[in-house]
Structure 1
Amino acid sequence: MLQNAEDADFSRTTGRPVVFGDTNNGRHLMVVYEKVDADTIYPITAYDVTQRQRA
Structure 2
Amino acid sequence: MPHLEVLWIEGPDGNVEHLAEHGVSPAEAEDVLADPTATAISRSSGHPIVFGYTRHRRKLAVVYQMLDDLSAYPITAYDVED
Please tell me the TM-score bracket, short chain as reference: 0.7 to 0.9
Who is 2:45 aligned against?
Answer: 14
Q: TM-score, normalised by structure 2?
A: 0.60
Distance 1:3 1:23 in 2: 10
Counterpart residue number, 1:3 = 34
Gaps of 5+ in 1: none
Q: Between the two proteins, what is the percent identity of the paired residues?
A: 45
Gaps of 5+ in 2: 1-31
Number of the residue aligned with 2:4 = none
More strand by share: 1
TM-score (norm 1): 0.86
**CA root-mean-square deviation:** 0.7
- Quick one: higher RCO (CA 8 Å, sep 6+), 1 or 2? 2
SS of corresponding position for 2:34 = coil
- Length, aligned pairs only: 51
